[in-house]
């Protein structure tokens, strides 16, 4: 697989969309030297955003995760999370009333900032559900799976309501070797059991890229092909970026191993414009 | 939907295979009067078996559930559970060593009776997994979903081993209105996350009907079209029975509602030989 | 199912998005009286667009289909076809060279207007494919299925290239009772056989609604919840409109039968804001 | 990947089930030297059968394909084709009347030998379908895809009848590099469009292995773990053999490339008992 240095390709673009995990950070934390990448982009007048399938915390808390680890460039306005799409959707479609959720107290931020009342699934009384307007899957933590997943299923059998999944990912890494079921995995199981159709937000769905594109255009208007989408996963970042009409770069610092990149691209038919070892900027600039 | 009385059709057959839930019992327990059905079959020299997707308890315990409710005809040798297929598979393919499982202590019966050592997922040390030969999904109860489902995923990432799902059902009824996730639903989620292929036992898979057919032939040899499969669900009992070459009867006493039967048969293309209100025998015989 | 008159709900909105088949026309042609609906909208200053999963003809030819049947309100600028999304994608991502296609000569309009060279699959020489940049599924007509579908499969095994499906529908009605395989159905089969990932355009995908929304905002800026999406199919029009944040109206003049509407809404969990008998305007206004 | 010589493992078994393509033959024809393998098995008193997903020709014609190429050991009684399962199913479930089919005249052998009348899809009059009892997908050749696939769809919308797919494969090799859509691929598309459930026969489904096992036991009774299933494909031969309780050997002479075997086994969780370069017997014996 012929790879290119990130710094040699990124200068062709006006804006960069970064995936977070596998690109800017890994199981050990922020990838060392990544601050230099943001300095390089700032120097060249290239704007950037972080697109992350995450509804566990609001954009301020997500940005604080970078700031506290020494990356000051990632301010809350640079963060585009799938939770933000859920929040905007709730504001447009639900407007008022009570929204039930699966997740931590912190994840309920996205419901509260839409101006709605929140109700954790554990506190629902199944004999009194008429006031619940919508259910949102926010996070895999903060509730008792044995009890509350069955409760969600029976809530949705009792009362027909829209269901939003604020993170499409089915798993996420928790250490060098281990992964955990993400809320998107739990929601797939519930959807299969009910035979109902949920509304999902997150990469690779076009709505995530559209949301980020609109934010980017607020800074300065630009065409889609003036944006570079950078990610470590063909099946979310690259296929989604390609479909949206952006150029795409696959980096080999995350879950696509260097020795498998070529086989994966050929067998999937998902073709990035570039393959880069990582987004690190080596040498002087 | 034109229906027929069960007693008028069953006498054409030498053996009957009954689904349990929705046919012989429902959320309130054994359907009243069902003992008369077994008396009728005994009087007419028609043999019968109960085919159930269940690995939570062994056939003796399952039969005891009928006996203690006044149905003495359902002895352990009349029970064909999906757990029995898992047990036979373990005896053929694993032969010796330790088998990990998800389920209750009682469900581990199916591993023990295959002559193997059992290890509940909660007791596994992920740093010492070389001696584990196989993992079996037995029951949705008996373990901590939040913790142990992720543990299963990481066990299977650490060590490649065959995985058996001893019950294909994705949910089961727990009361008049409520259902719960069955172990087949949990295993579907784990399989999707891992991208691996598990071995599943239970209706509508042919192996379940074959197992029952072999048991029936031990009593007296018979052709497949001399058996009537009776069930309340088109997508397990009827499609499975049809494919295996048996005649089939859909009963309307369970999850196929009388007013929906015709629509369901037409839209699914799954056509039973007969539709009966129930398996109850009305009047004298 | 309680239904509402279309004229009583539509006046709350600034713009209406109409599905075409089952809403404005059916197997007999344009639904009689539909011109009055457009007069009503014009009178009330409500803008409208027709969103159609179709890449068989360009917007001019699609509009001509309405004009020639007496509906002068549907001008080419009112038409949003899935083919237009494919054309814009080709302009952004392919930019120059030769694009192969499955479809009629007329459907190739969408490639030509992106400034690219077209090559019907029948004219491809499989020993000379290096110059082909992309393959587009446009229409189910215009080629020999026995021969050309296998040719497409082997082309894509020979050379890895992006594949665009310009219409997600898997079938379409051809008469009162009969349907035909649509190009989306053929592309699903090819994708399954190859194990590759294609790029699909059409409802219910968000990109189709985004495209229409941008066109609507060019006329006059508006919020998403100022638009009403009207369709006859829960699984494309309504779920897609709901997810995009628009209000939705299901009409019972197409493939959702009045007697099935309630069951379908309950079992699918796809809930329109309104259910209307049709979009016809009855009485004076 | 550590491999073993076929001759060193096969002697532990009483019977061998061979997949055909990729094991006994490839795109060039019979693999040279394969006759010696059958001589070895005959010498050691090991019985053998060929299990093939094929309904294009009857077992006599399939065996003649071997005999005419110098392999006299493969007599018609050694052939187990998916078409034979379809034939037995028709004999059990349809019993009399007319069966429609997609395929060549030769493939209709499997309907005729079940004692039923055959009707190619091209000769059906859609206004006179009441006498048709069943539809069978037999072969991808022998009909006009453009016309007859749509005709099948509308036949099944007009009249609800069981549908049998006599070969589950979705594609098959036609030359060193090229493949073609198999009848299983066409039937998947039709099933998706109709939303109906078809009855499928062929590996990896248990019914195929059961059928072969019964034939093997007629020669001499044996346990499942006294049989070795040999195949080149993890997803049909090996997973099916494993599930049925047989031992399995993956050979690297077909579509699992030697350099990919280990990755495929690890990522799929489908674990053969052995991996062999091929079934060829090298050296004297």
Q: Which residues pair with B51 in a beta bridge?
A: B19, B80
Which of A145, A169, A170 best probes binding to B when mutated, by most B CB atoms within 10 angstroms? A145
DSSP structural state of residue B56: S
Asked if D226 contacts D237 with a C-beta cutoff of 8 angstroms, the reply is no
List the end-to-end C-alpha distance of chain A, in Å, as a whole number. 26
Interface subset of A 183-222, CB within 8 angstroms of C:
194-199, 205-207, 210
- What's the mean pLDDT in B1-6? 92
User: Is some CB atom of chain D closer than 8 A to the CB atom of C179?
Assistant: yes
The whole-angstrom distance between C68's CA and the closest CA on chain A is: 35
Tell if the CB–CB gap between D153 and C189 is shorter than 8 Å: no
DSSP alpha helices (H): ranges in B94-205?
109-112, 145-158, 183-194
Residue-wise pLDDT tens digits, D180-221: 999 999 999 999 999 999 999 999 999 999 999 999 999 999
Structure token digits, residue B285: 């015989």
User: Is some CB atom of chain B closer than 8 A to the CB atom of A129?
Assistant: no
Instruction: Name residue, tokens 């300065």.
Output: A220
Asked if C55 contacts C166 with a C-beta cutoff of 8 angstroms, the reply is yes
Q: Which residues pair with B274 in a beta bridge?
A: B249
Q: How high is the pLDDT of residue C98?
A: 98
Tell if the CB–CB gap between C179 and D153 is shorter than 8 Å: yes
Tell if the CB–CB gap between A245 and C93 is shorter than 8 Å: yes
Measured between CA atoms, the residue of chain B closest to residue D89 is B245
User: Is some CB atom of chain A closer than 8 A to the CB atom of C177?
Assistant: no
How does residue B282 score in pLDDT terms, banded at 50, 70 and 90?
confident
Asked if C23 contacts C53 with a C-beta cutoff of 8 angstroms, the reply is no
Asked if D216 contacts D49 with a C-beta cutoff of 8 angstroms, the reply is yes
Planar angle of CA D238, D243, D244, nearest 5 degrees? 100
Contacts of C178 in chain D (CB under 8 A): 150, 154, 157
The Cα C246–Cα C14 span in angstroms is 12
Asked if C275 contacts C250 with a C-beta cutoff of 8 angstroms, the reply is yes
How does residue B285 score in pLDDT terms, banded at 50, 70 and 90?
low
The Cα D20–Cα D34 span in angstroms is 11
- Average pLDDT across chain C, whole number: 96
Structure token digits, residue B109: 């019966």
DSSP C92-149: HHT-SSEEEEES-TGGGHHHHTTT-EEEEGGG--TT--TTEEEEEE--SSSS-HHHHH
CB atoms within 10 A of CB C250: 28
List C-alpha distances in Å: B88 to B114, B117, B206, B272, D211.
7, 15, 15, 30, 19
Indicate if ipTM > 0.85.
Answer: yes
The Cα A90–Cα A136 span in angstroms is 10
Helix (H), strand (E) at residue C266: helix C261-268
Contacts of A150 in chain B (CB under 8 A): 178-181
Tell if the CB–CB gap between D144 and C149 is shorter than 8 Å: no
The Cα B214–Cα D178 span in angstroms is 43
Asked if A102 contacts A143 with a C-beta cutoff of 8 angstroms, the reply is yes
Half-sphere exposure at residue D181, Cβ-oriented, CA atoms within 13 angstroms: 25
Residue-wise pLDDT tens digits, A257-270: 999 999 999 999 99
Residues 6+ apart with CB under 8 A from B158: A177, B126, B129
- Of B157, B185, B192, nearest to A193 by CB-CB distance is B185
The Cα D234–Cα C243 span in angstroms is 40
Q: What is the pTM of this model?
A: 0.96
Question: Which of A175-179, B36-40, C91-95, C192-196 has the weakest average pLDDT?
Answer: A175-179
DSSP alpha helices (H): ranges in chain B?
6-10, 34-43, 59-67, 82-93, 109-112, 145-158, 183-194, 206-219, 239-244, 261-268
Among the listed residues B192, C202, B267, the one whose alpha carbon sits nearest the alpha carbon of residue A191: B192
Measured between CA atoms, the residue of chain C closest to residue D185 is C189
Residue-wise pLDDT tens digits, B195-237: 999 999 999 999 999 999 999 999 999 999 999 999 999 999 9
Tell if the CB–CB gap between A192 and B193 is shorter than 8 Å: no
- On the question of pLDDT at C271 being above 60, the answer is yes
Tell if the CB–CB gap between A93 and C223 is shorter than 8 Å: no
Asked if D145 contacts D104 with a C-beta cutoff of 8 angstroms, the reply is no
The Cα B22–Cα B24 span in angstroms is 6
Asked if D15 contacts D222 with a C-beta cutoff of 8 angstroms, the reply is yes
Torsion angle, alpha carbons of C230, C232, C238, C239, to 10: -160
List C-alpha distances in Å: C77 to C24, C58, C64.
17, 11, 12
Measured between CA atoms, the residue of chain A closest to residue C195 is A268
- Of C196, C205, C266, nearest to A160 by CB-CB distance is C266
How does residue B50 score in pLDDT terms, banded at 50, 70 and 90?
very high
Beta strand segments in A4-155, E = 15-19, 25-26, 29-30, 47-52, 79-81, 98-102, 117-120, 132-137
Residue-wise pLDDT tens digits, C173-225: 999 889 999 999 999 999 999 999 999 999 999 999 999 999 999 999 999 99
State whether the Cα torsion C212-C214-C216-C218 is positive or negative. Answer: negative
Residue-wise pLDDT tens digits, A84-96: 999 999 999 998 9
- On the question of pLDDT at A176 being above 90, the answer is no
How does residue C282 score in pLDDT terms, banded at 50, 70 and 90?
confident
- Average pLDDT across chain B, whole number: 96
Q: How many residues does chain B have?
A: 285
Q: How high is the pLDDT of residue A182?
A: 98
Structure token digits, residue C205: 């995908």
Measured between CA atoms, the residue of chain B closest to residue D162 is B269
Q: What is the CA C107 to chain-centroid distance, rounded?
A: 14
Among the listed residues C109, C91, C86, the one whose alpha carbon sits nearest the alpha carbon of residue C167: C86
Asked if B250 contacts B274 with a C-beta cutoff of 8 angstroms, the reply is yes
Tell if the CB–CB gap between B181 and A188 is shorter than 8 Å: no
User: Is some CB atom of chain B closer than 8 A to the CB atom of A144?
Assistant: yes
Q: How high is the pLDDT of residue B284?
A: 55
Contacts of B178 in chain A (CB under 8 A): 150, 154, 157
Q: How high is the pLDDT of residue A255?
A: 87
- On the question of pLDDT at B95 being above 90, the answer is no
Percent with pLDDT over 70 in chain B: 99
Tell if the CB–CB gap between D157 and C179 is shorter than 8 Å: yes
Tell how strand D179-181 and strand D171-173 pair up: antiparallel
Among the listed residues B216, B206, B279, B276, the one whose alpha carbon sits nearest the alpha carbon of residue B49: B216
Q: How high is the pLDDT of residue A283?
A: 64
User: Is some CB atom of chain C closer than 8 A to the CB atom of A161?
Assistant: yes
Q: How high is the pLDDT of residue B183?
A: 98
Contacts of B157 in chain A (CB under 8 A): 177-179
Q: What is the CA B122 to chain-centroid distance, rounded?
A: 26
Q: How high is the pLDDT of residue B1?
A: 74
Backbone angles phi, psi at B165, to 5 degrees: -110, 115
Residue-wise pLDDT tens digits, C8-63: 999 999 999 999 999 999 988 999 999 999 999 999 999 999 999 999 999 999 99
Query: Would you call D145 helix, strand, or coil by DSSP?
Result: helix
């Amino acid at each position: 697989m012929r790879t290119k240095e990130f710094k040699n390709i990124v200068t062709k673009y006006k804006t960069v969309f970064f995936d977070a995990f596998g690109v800017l950070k890994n199981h050990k934390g922020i990838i060392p030297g990544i601050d230099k990448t943001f300095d390089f982009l700032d120097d060249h007048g290239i704007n950037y955003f972080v697109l992350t399938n995450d509804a566990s915390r609001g954009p301020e808390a997500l940005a604080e995760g970078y700031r506290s680890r020494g990356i000051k460039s990632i301010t809350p306005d640079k963060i585009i999370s799938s939770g933000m799409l859920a929040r905007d959707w709730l504001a447009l479609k639900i407007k008022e009333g009570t929204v039930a959720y699966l997740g931590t107290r912190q994840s309920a931020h996205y419901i509260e900032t839409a101006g709605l009342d929140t109700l954790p699934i554990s506190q629902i009384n199944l004999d009194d559900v008429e006031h619940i307007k919508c259910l949102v899957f926010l996070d895999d933590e903060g509730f008792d799976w044995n009890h509350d997943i069955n409760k969600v299923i029976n809530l949705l059998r009792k009362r027909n309501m829209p269901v939003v999944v604020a993170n499409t990912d089915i798993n996420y890494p928790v250490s060098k070797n281990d992964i955990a079921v993400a809320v998107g995995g739990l929601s797939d199981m519930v959807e299969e059991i009910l035979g109902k159709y949920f509304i999902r937000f997150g990469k690779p769905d076009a709505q995530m890229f559209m949301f980020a594109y609109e934010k980017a255009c607020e800074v300065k208007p630009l065409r889609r092909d003036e944006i570079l989408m950078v990610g470590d996963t063909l099946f979310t970042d690259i296929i989604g970026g390609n479909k949206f009409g952006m150029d795409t770069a696959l980096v080999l610092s995350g879950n696509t191993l260097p020795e498998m990149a070529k086989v994966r691209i050929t067998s999937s038919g998902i073709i990035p414009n570039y393959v880069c070892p990582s987004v690190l900027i080596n040498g002087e600039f």
